[in-house]
């Protein structure tokens, strides 16, 4: 354990929901729930206003709607969240080379490794300045915990929420942890918590009093031993800048069970393509293809196949996933499908068969009915046979789908976001992050003047950037010299609280 609280844990406050409130003036101060809006959707994040009604992350969306029927329910905009996350992580990396992201909105930072803090005063100053910089750059708030270990820094940031800073001084850890619930400690979930409760252990102090032998008897050597050490505030885990990715995966839960085998195959192929896109974006390839199927009765099956070498070829992954599907009975219906690639590597072993197949497909002539989606020109050649005009009825235009909470732009009214859609109509609220709450207008879903748009920045870009934190923090020396400077589907009830 360190002698100074130089491990920092940052956790953004209700990240997704706060970003939506910052982007949509009409939702500020109102209950906002972000997540999947279908019958089987779950809550990703709830604003603090929604939490007062009992809504929390991982809750089924149906239950959330019953608890907070007047909240605004929005589909996540992960592109916006990633952009904000990159800005926040950039500020953290100005502090130290050792930044360990845990998710888009959460990370550990080793301030000592960055040379920006070596005692309580300098650590607190860095934490306060970081919170101010995050607010200036993103318009959002984050909570900061400072302690001598990762476990305690995370506990401190949780106690600081929302929009606060908590520093746990070395030597006070046992007194702080003692009265806390056993669920406070990492690795103690509902099952372990119930097991300890049945043994008469409900607080961290009672874990320490029980002793290591009793914890090992109750939970096993590895879990019991580590839990006892944490109850004594012992946590020697270092901040690790690079965390190895073990797998890349995608999965979808369906509002209605899928019974059609043809559609199941199509969904698996689509998921395989999405998985490869993520794989390539991460700069990886992988050897093992995994298929996950959750059936109508909630039974979950996984099948895997290991290839001769790593690949990031979508055709190879699609074929492997299709083969795995053949061994799974889906006649009763499927509620969830997933495709993953594991055994990751930073290189690809060229698959000559896949290359040959792709080359052969490239030589196939364009068929007469090839349209824009197949890459051919309309009315393409049919190898000498004249095109039969009017042989097929023209396809009906596909109705555009407008996703609740996503950005749009109207040629006349400007930037807005989708408040709701259905029955051939879409309702849009026209406002921007820097405007007053905007007016609501309704259009036909096929209105040619309405188009999807990219999210707007939450904070107007100033001509001069915020001065890097590392440039304004001077660490006090052991002798006492130095000083710290610069401290300082439908949106239901949107707009109602």
Whole-number Å distance between alpha carbons of 124 and 491 = 41
To the nearest 5 percent, what fractions of the chain are helix, strand and coil? 35, 25, 45
DSSP 429-469: EE--TTS-S-EEEEEETT-TTEEE-PPPPSSPPPSSPPPPH
Residue 106 annotated to the active site: yes
DSSP state of 203: B
Number of C-beta neighbours around residue 350 at 10 A: 11
Whole-number Å distance between alpha carbons of 70 and 50 = 10
State phi, psi for 9 to the nearest 5 degrees: -120, 125
Burial profile 68-103: b = 16 or more Cβ within 10 angstroms, e = fewer: beebbbbbbbeebbebbbebbbebbbbbbebbbbee
Contact between residue 336 and residue 251 where contact means Cβ atoms under 8 Å apart: yes
Q: Enumerate residues 6+ apart whose C-beta is below 8 A from 238.
A: 98, 110
Exactly one of 20, 49, 100, 106 is catalytic; name it. Answer: 106
Q: Nearest 5 degrees, angle CA 410-CA 413-CA 419?
A: 70
Whole-number Å distance between alpha carbons of 399 and 56 = 34
Q: Catalogue the E-assigned strands of 169-282.
A: 247-258
Alpha-carbon separation of residue 396 from 243, 399, 451 (angstroms):
49, 9, 20
Sheet architecture: strand order including 32-35: 43-46, 32-35, 72-74
Which residues are annotated as catalytic? Answer: 106
């Amino acid at each position: 354990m360190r002698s100074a609280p130089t491990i920092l844990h940052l956790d953004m406050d209700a990240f997704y929901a706060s970003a939506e409130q910052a982007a949509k003036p009409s939702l500020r101060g109102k209950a906002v729930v972000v997540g999947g809006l279908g019958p089987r959707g779950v809550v990703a994040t709830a604003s603090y206003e929604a939490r007062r009604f009992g809504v929390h992350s991982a809750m089924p969306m149906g239950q959330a709607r019953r608890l907070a029927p007047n909240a605004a329910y929005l589909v996540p905009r992960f592109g916006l969240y990633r952009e904000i996350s990159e800005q926040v992580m950039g500020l953290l990396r100005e502090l130290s080379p050792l930044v360990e992201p845990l998710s888009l909105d959460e990370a550990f930072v080793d301030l000592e490794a960055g040379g920006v803090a070596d005692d309580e005063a300098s650590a607190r100053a860095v934490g306060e300045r970081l919170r101010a910089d995050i607010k200036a750059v993103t318009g959002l708030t984050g909570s900061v915990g400072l302690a001598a270990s990762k476990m305690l820094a995370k506990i401190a940031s949780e106690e600081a929420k929302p929009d606060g800073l908590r520093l746990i001084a070395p030597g006070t850890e046992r007194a702080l942890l003692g009265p806390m619930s056993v669920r406070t400690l990492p690795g103690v979930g509902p099952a372990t918590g119930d097991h300890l409760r049945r043994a008469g252990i409900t607080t961290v102090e009672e874990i320490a009093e029980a002793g290591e032998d009793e914890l090992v008897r109750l939970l096993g050597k590895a879990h019991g031993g580590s839990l006892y050490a944490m109850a004594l505030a012992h946590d020697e885990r270092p901040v690790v800048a690079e965390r190895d990715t073990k797998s890349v995966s995608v999965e979808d839960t369906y509002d209605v069970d899928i019974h059609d085998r043809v559609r199941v195959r199509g969904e698996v192929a689509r998921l395989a393509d999405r998985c490869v896109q993520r794989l390539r974006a991460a700069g990886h390839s992988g050897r093992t293809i995994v298929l996950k199927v959750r059936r109508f009765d909630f039974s979950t099956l996984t099948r895997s196949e290991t290839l001769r070498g790593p690949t990031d070829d979508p055709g190879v992954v699609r074929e492997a996933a299709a083969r795995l599907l053949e061994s799974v009975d889906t006649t009763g219906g499927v509620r969830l499908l997933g495709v993953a690639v594991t055994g990751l590597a930073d290189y690809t072993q060229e698959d000559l068969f896949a290359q040959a197949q792709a080359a052969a497909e490239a030589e196939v002539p364009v068929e007469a009915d090839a349209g824009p989606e197949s890459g051919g020109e309309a009315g393409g050649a049919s190898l000498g046979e004249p095109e039969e005009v009017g042989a097929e009825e023209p396809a009906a235009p596909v109705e555009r789908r407008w996703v609740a909470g996503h950005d749009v732009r109207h040629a006349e009214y400007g930037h807005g976001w989708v408040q709701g859609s259905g029955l051939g109509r879409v309702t849009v609220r026209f406002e921007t992050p820097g405007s007053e709450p905007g007016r609501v207008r309704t259009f036909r879903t096929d209105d040619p003047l309405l188009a999807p748009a990219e999210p707007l920045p939450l904070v107007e870009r100033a001509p001069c950037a915020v001065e890097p934190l590392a440039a304004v923090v001077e660490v006090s020396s052991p002798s006492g010299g130095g000083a710290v400077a610069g401290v300082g589907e439908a949106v239901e009830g949107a707009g109602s609280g």
